Amino acid sequence: MALPKGLAGVVVDQTKVSSTQNAVLTYSGYPVRELKNAPFEEVVFLLWHSRLPTTNELHDFRKQLVSQMALPYETVQLMARIAREPQHPMSILRTTVSLLGTTNDVERDEPPRILAKMLTAIAAIIRIRADLPIKHVHREWGVVENFIYLFSGKRPTSDQVAMFNTVMVLHADHEFNASTFTARVVASTQSDDYSCLTAAICALKGPLHGGANEQVFRMLETIRQTKQDPIQYVKDQIARGHKIMGFGHRIYKNGDPRAAILRKIAHRLAVTTGNEAYFTLQEQIRQYMFDKTGLHPNVDYYTALIYHCFNLDRQVFTTMFAACRTAGWLAHIIEQQAEGCLIRPSSKYIGKTDRHYLTDKEENSVD
């Protein structure tokens, strides 16, 4: 039996949440390119219920999410201490999510309340680390508008809300990626939702899964600060055996469909925020990478610039990914828990065999 590295191409279970079959990303059967302008709350409802909500259901669902975008007092007090620690924000988020599972009335926490608390917690981490006061939601606003306000401290424009809404929709889910599969493994044990989310964040924290957007912007910053020629920089990195982050995808060999949508948003934001130089760099690198390697940008490539245009520090980029992906994680947790089957794969042993442990008495008797 051939065992591909990293289970590439191996079907381990069934799901109704999302699919990347034929390199087309769909949420419950709907192509994501058709959902890119749908309200984030509507897409979350779709992922959790396998159908779109009615007008009244969407209104009530949005109201429910926003009404629960508040953190328990105990959580805020503890976060005010741990968020200032000199650790990567993903480490802070990992601890915070575990903390959320121990404060307030956790027994009553259902997916809408958990998602709402996650968004607020991530925004609070960003504010606390920047020595800025934590903001509070406006009940009459939507989820995306509130989320931007909570991490930025400013009410976004309608255009900013629309663009960030698309970012959140495109990141909401992506089939059985590493963090989602990790969440499902924990969910298969019938563990609680916070334990599943903590495990997912631990997986996302690894640089081979999350963190690519942060590394993309680190590259752009380095090129600009050192005034290097971008093409020569990429050539040097490739010659040293370094990977150019933000390019290539295990599934999308002919280009990540999400990147094509995000490229337009990145360009528009770059123009309106005075970051055109960064977008120009990205375009130069994109063209060279395609000509040299045939690789296309993935979802992380343009997301990096988008987050920068929202005045976010690159260290929190992966936490923003987690904010969007929590919707999908919860959808898979719900599905796996309902399945009621423990995930327990087998392995092929390749170590030494026919070894024996002898006691001193047995060794002497052999002599």
Residues marked as catalytic: 249, 300
Of 52, 48, 58, 54, the residue nearest 17 (C-alpha): 48
Q: H helices then E strands: how many in the chain?
A: 17, 3
47: Cβ contacts below 8 Å, ≥ 6 apart: 17, 18, 27, 28, 172, 173, 327, 328, 330, 331
CA separation for the pair 32, 99 (Å, rounded): 33
* Cβ–Cβ < 8 Å for 244, 290: no
Q: What are the distances in angstroms from CA 108 to CA 104, 157, 189?
A: 9, 35, 20
Q: Which helix (H) or strand (E) holds 7?
A: none
In sequence order, which ranges of 36-142 are alpha helices (DSSP H)?
Answer: 40-49, 55-67, 73-82, 89-100, 111-129
Phi, psi of 26 (to 5 degrees): -130, 145
Of 222, 251, 232, the residue nearest 292 (C-alpha): 232
Of 99, 142, 90, the residue nearest 117 (C-alpha): 99
CA separation for the pair 71, 127 (Å, rounded): 14
DSSP state at residue 247: B
Query: What's the token pair of residue 137?
Result: 């939601």
Q: What are the distances in angstroms from CA 320 to CA 89, 93, 263?
A: 10, 11, 18
Of 96, 41, 44, the residue nearest 71 (C-alpha): 96
26 beta partners: 19, 31
